[in-house]
């Protein structure tokens, strides 16, 4: 049985050092944070602990530095942004469990927050060797002194069997952070007790990344709306030519099988009926809107590539969203980073905002997309910080970080 953060707070944290696994894995443009959504989501638990007198040490990762110190993946910009947003003092260590981290942890005062450097700079964090991870977890735990505690508030990492997520929970009294608890409550309701109709929008580049999710949703969701790069594998499964669009040929037969099984299970696949067809993958490329059944027959022809859903598909998707009782969205339906191909994703976001349904944005690119397109978090029911963790939870997998906490 998982222990909630409220239980730790009731014991009193003043003067104690609390190690918190947060999710500060934010996108950067050089040293500038371009989307601080995960930092803002991490703030409430960190401030709650600090204001109650705890000495808070934050563990987090950024990117995939592969066990090497790489300045491109330093947490310094994220720590700086955290300090700008927080109502308490935030310090940053220049290493993970080295001399600077140990000295700063020992000197930490009640109410201060210390952010360690990227835990993935240490190869033991992600090691497949249990003993190596355990050793690293022990060094992290030692930063808390004699009466330390651990709080997991990084839902975006709970699907990883990493030292700062899994092994650390065996070294210290461990608690479920408010952010993780909220994610669990919301996603559990979506899967087990959705208000009907339950409409799922799936986008992103590769259908192979979402196969297990789709598999688990067949028979649970009322409608699966498919867009993005993965949509062209569905189009190919219907027998349509897709030019140079992103296509996973090895998944076409799997997709055909899913289409057949969904029909038998009462789940409707809603696929694009028209596409924004581009001469090339370029923001300034010549485009035309083509019906999905004749993508290669226009002026651009077979060398073209699909980069967004067309206006008829936007209307089609909006209709399903408007009638939904519960909405789960993971993955943009076009190349939203280029304004010429952002209209599909914008239309989906707008339809969700206008819907009275409970809505969950499944983290990752979807969360970045809605923010970059000018929408705010409070316009949606819940924006997950999970990304891959959200998908694995929807798949029905056991997540190591939650298992370690008894959740």
Region 327-341 average pLDDT:
94
pLDDT band at 93 (very low <50, low <70, confident <90, very high): very high
Pick the catalytic residue: 229, 362, 364, 386? 364
Q: Which tokens is 347 given?
A: 């239309």
Poorest-pLDDT segment among 79-83, 92-96, 197-201, 359-363: 359-363
**Is 38 designated active site?**
yes
pLDDT digits (tens, 9 = 90+) for 41-66: 999 999 999 999 999 999 999 999 99
- Residue ranges for the known binding site for ATP are 210, 306, 337, 363-366
Question: What topology does CATH give the domain 5-181?
Answer: Rossmann fold (3.40.50)
Q: Domain ranges in the chain?
A: 5-181, 194-273+307-394
Query: Read out DSSP for 120-137?
Result: GGSTTTT-S-HHHHHHHH
- Residue ranges for the known binding site are 23-25, 38, 61-64, 120, 160, 210, 306, 337, 363-366
pLDDT digits (tens, 9 = 90+) for 255-284: 999 999 999 999 999 999 999 999 999 999
pLDDT over 90 (residue 181): yes
**Is 231 designated active site?**
no
Cα-based distances in Å from 368 to 38, 55, 59, 87, 301:
10, 31, 23, 25, 32
| Pairs from 24-30 (Cβ < 8 Å, separation ≥ 24) | 24/58, 24/60, 24/61, 24/62, 24/75, 24/78, 24/79, 24/82, 24/115, 25/60, 25/61, 25/62, 25/63, 25/156, 25/157, 26/62, 26/78, 26/81, 27/368, 28/62, 28/77
pLDDT over 90 (residue 207): no
**Is 364 designated active site?**
yes
* pLDDT at residue 1, as a whole number: 64
Average of per-residue pLDDT values in the chain: 95
Q: Which tokens is 195 given?
A: 């208000």
pTM beyond 0.85:
yes
Q: Tell whether domain 194-273+307-394 is in CATH 3.40.50.1260.
A: yes
Pick the catalytic residue: 83, 111, 138, 388? 388
Domains 5-181 and 194-273+307-394 alike in fold = yes
**Is 206 designated active site?**
yes
- Residue ranges for the known binding site for (2R)-3-phosphoglycerate are 38, 120, 160
Pick the catalytic residue: 16, 38, 181, 220? 38
Cis, peptide link before residue 197, omega less than 30° from 0 = yes
Pick the catalytic residue: 206, 256, 261, 350? 206
């Amino acid at each position: 049985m998982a222990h909630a953060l409220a239980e730790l707070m009731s014991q009193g944290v003043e003067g104690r050092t609390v190690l918190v696994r947060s999710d500060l894995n934010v996108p950067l443009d050089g040293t500038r944070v371009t989307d601080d959504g995960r930092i803002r989501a991490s703030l409430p638990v960190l401030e709650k602990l600090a204001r109650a007198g705890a000495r808070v040490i934050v563990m987090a990762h950024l990117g995939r530095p592969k066990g090497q110190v790489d300045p491109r993946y330093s947490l310094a910009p994220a720590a700086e942004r955290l300090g700008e947003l927080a109502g308490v003092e935030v310090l940053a260590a220049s290493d993970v469990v080295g001399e600077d981290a140990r000295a700063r942890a020992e000197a930490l005062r009640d109410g201060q927050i210390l952010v360690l450097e990227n835990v993935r700079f240490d190869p033991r964090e992600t090691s497949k060797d249990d003993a190596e991870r355990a050793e690293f977890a022990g060094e992290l735990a030692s930063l808390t002194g004699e009466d330390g505690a651990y709080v997991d508030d990084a839902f975006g990492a709970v699907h990883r069997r990493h030292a700062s997520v899994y092994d650390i929970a065996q070294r210290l009294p461990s608690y479920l952070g408010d952010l993780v608890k909220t994610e669990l409550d919301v996603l559990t309701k979506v899967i087990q007790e959705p208000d009907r109709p339950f409409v799922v929008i799936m986008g992103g580049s590769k259908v192979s990344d979402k196969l297990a999710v789709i598999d688990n949703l067949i028979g649970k969701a009322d409608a699966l709306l498919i867009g993005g790069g993965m949509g062209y594998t569905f189009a190919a499964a219907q027998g349509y030519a897709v030019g140079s669009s992103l296509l996973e040929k090895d998944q076409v037969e799997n997709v055909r099988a899913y289409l057949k099984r969904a029909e038998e299970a009462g789940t409707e696949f809603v696929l694009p009926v028209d596409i924004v067809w581009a001469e090339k993958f370029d923001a300034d490329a010549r485009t035309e809107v083509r019906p999905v059944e004749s993508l290669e027959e226009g002026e651009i022809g077979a060398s073209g590539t699909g980069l967004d859903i067309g206006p008829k598909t936007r209307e089609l998707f909006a209709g399903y969203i408007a009638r939904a009782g519960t909405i789960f969205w993971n993955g943009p339906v076009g190349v939203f980073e280029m304004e010429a191909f952002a209209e599909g994703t914008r239309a989906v976001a707008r339809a969700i905002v206008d819907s009275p349904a409970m809505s969950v944005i499944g983290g990752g690119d979807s969360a970045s997309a809605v923010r970059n397109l000018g929408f705010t978090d409070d316009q949606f029911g819940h924006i997950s910080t999970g990304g891959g963790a959200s998908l694995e939870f929807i798949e029905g997998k056991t997540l190591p970080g939650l298992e370690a906490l008894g959740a």
